[in-house]
Amino acid sequence: MRYILYLAILLSIPSQAYEIDKVAHFSVSYGLAISSTVICKKLLRPSLEPHRLRWACPLAASSLALIPGIFKELSDDRFDWRDMEANVYGVGAAAVFSIAIDF
């Protein structure tokens, strides 16, 4: 099941997003979202019920992981929507992964 989910995520990314820059945006956003989710779950485990912890941390962490990408694009000469698209795919994949695999 997990591999089908990975394949669906990879196939949903447009072919233009496979450029090296886009892969870097995807990877950094994914890594930030996953690590933020793990930290959130470690910190909030005693205070939240398990069913809320499963959804709240991945969604909050994914939202927060988009902030560095937005600031990076605003600091560039021109705002690249394809970079932001790769960022959104990265945090979306991380959210789906961390909700599906409750670690």
Q: Indicate the pLDDT class of residue 8, thresholds 50, 70 and 90.
A: low
User: What average pLDDT does range 19-36 have in this prediction?
Assistant: 88
- Under a CB-based contact definition with an 8 Å cutoff, are residues 53 and 81 in contact? no
d(CA 17, CA 74): 19
Domain count, the chain: 1
The Cβ of residue 4 has, within 10 Å, a number of other Cβ atoms equal to 8
Domain that holds residue 71: 2-100
- pTM of the complete model: 0.75
Cβ density class 32-66: b for 16+ within 10 Å, e for less: bbbebbeebbeeeeeebeeeebeebbbbbbbeebb
Q: Indicate the pLDDT class of residue 32, thresholds 50, 70 and 90.
A: very high
Per residue in 45-82, pLDDT (tens digit) is 777 677 777 788 888 888 899 999 899 888 888 888 88
d(CA 26, CA 54): 23
User: Quick one: how far is CA 34 from the chain centroid?
Assistant: 7
User: What average pLDDT does range 24-42 have in this prediction?
Assistant: 89
